[in-house]
A and B are shown apart, each in its own frame.
Chain A
Amino acid sequence: MQEGLNAWQLIAGADPTLFAIVQLSLMISLSAVAIAAVVGLPLGALLALTRFPGRNLVIVVLNAFMGLPPVVVGLAVYLLLSRSGPLGQFGILFTPLAMVIAQAILILPIIAALSRQTIEDLWLEYRDELTAMDVGPAGRVTTLLWDARLSLLTALLAGFGRAAAEVGAVMIVGGNIDGFTRTMTTTIALETSKGNLPLALGLGLVLIALVLAINAAAWTVRVWSERQAG
């Protein structure tokens, strides 16, 4: 990024490096949310609807993992993907894919835990009707997930917020490579360490504005959906 400019000048001048960084950040965090949603929503629903020995322990651990430290997740994924690690042959370390994987792991517990709570509450309400309609286990999962979609959207936003905000995981597994794995948060960290505090702060505000925009878009979807289907 050009030296000596503050964040607003970079935005106004459509600085291509800044745009590339924003694009990468969004792509990584949104991909992580997509993966965590595909895995975590049904996982939470299954946990809500089934009974098995040790279920309470699983729920406690899942809830606790909502607070997984990003830097620890980053370190664990790093050790897995390192050439000296078990998955080294794929050469994924220090690429955006590694960052997506790390963030997906980080936010999976949030989405699964919130999904479980939401679906468990909804099941209390729906149990009789769905049993009377002889809905099987798979049908219950899909029906409840769809009917709870507005609450689950909030869970996805919580996951996205966590992913977009973290720096520990993406820094370790991505390496903050210029033009390749540099995201908003790692750039802010870098500029801070270079003493470029006004630029770092400005970039921080840009990041917050982006997350706000995404939440506003999600809210619009929610309002529209409620109008369509209650």
Chain B
Amino acid sequence: MRAPVNDLPVLFERVSLRAGGMTILDRIDAIIEPGAPTLVVGPNGAGKSSFLRLCMGLSAPSEGRITWGGRPDAKPTRRAFVFQRPVMLRRTAAGNVAYSLKQAGVPREQRAERIARLLAQVGLSELAARPARRLSGGEQQRLALARALARDPDLLLLDEPTASLDPAATRSVEEIVRAAASSGIKVVMASHDLGQVRRLAGTVMFLVRGTLREHEAADAFLNTPSTPEAAAFVRGDLVV
């Protein structure tokens, strides 16, 4: 099984993010703990991406504090990020995974075997030698997942990874995410799709205009939301 986690829990203490005179996130207090996937939802512009980036450590908060496993400046060695539109390195699919393994400090001798395993995990074994830039959108997203999993993360962050994919590709990605979560990786994923929330979420964080309105079990959010905005959101209304 997996080694004891040490980037979790991720603790947000009165975290605000401001840029260009605008408040993107406003006094977020939250704990992200090991367990089932947490889906971060809300209308566009709510600050989901910014929240995830703070979780990863890609940005620093303007106010407040973030700690990973109790440590305020933990290097991102135990976490990984999948972007909505991944950037493929100018090499083969296998080469991309190899790069991630190398950056994660995996010794050269172990790489070949792990590349094969990771590509199999995401269903890209047959495309190992294909130039990554020539993969389809769905295949590239799966390769991005392979790269992320290559880091052997405790925490896997995904920013609306299926937003531009067709249903079949979406399903492949969700299966991989589900499998990763089952193996003990904490998944935190931004999503705009309520169906995805129903399929994957154990916990839901609901953001509106930079504030965290609800943070509870998925069932509770979907069936008995506390706030009117959440209720409107679950109903499918626009939340302005």
Contacts and interface: CB of A to CB of B under 8 A. Distances in A.
Contacts of A178: none
A229 B90 contact: yes
Nearest to B100: A133
A15 interface: no
Given A129-B87, A133-B151, A230 B103 contact: no
A134 B91 contact: no
B83 A230 contact: no
B114 interface: no
Contacts of B51: none
Q: Dominant SS at the A interface?
A: helix
Interface residues of B, number: 26
A139 B99 CA distance: 11
A169 B132 CA distance: 45
Contacts of B100: 133
Contacts of B81: 128, 132
11 contacts: A129-B83, A129-B86, A132-B76, A133-B103, A134-B75, A134-B76, A134-B103, A147-B89, A147-B91, A226-B131, A229-B91
A84 interface: no
Contacts of A228: 92, 131
A128 B58 contact: yes
A139 B132 contact: no
Given A131-B58, A134-B103, A230 B133 contact: yes
B80 interface: yes
Given A132-B76, A132-B80, A134-B76, A230 B87 contact: no
A134 B87 contact: no
Interface residues of A, number: 20
A19 interface: no
Contacts of A149: 90
A135 interface: yes
Interface string B162-193: 00000000000000000000000000000000
B227 interface: no
Interface in A140-157: 143, 146-147, 149-150
Given A132-B58, A230-B133, A139 B87 contact: no
A134 B151 CA distance: 11
A227 B80 CA distance: 30
A146 B103 CA distance: 15
A128 B83 contact: yes
A135 B103 contact: yes
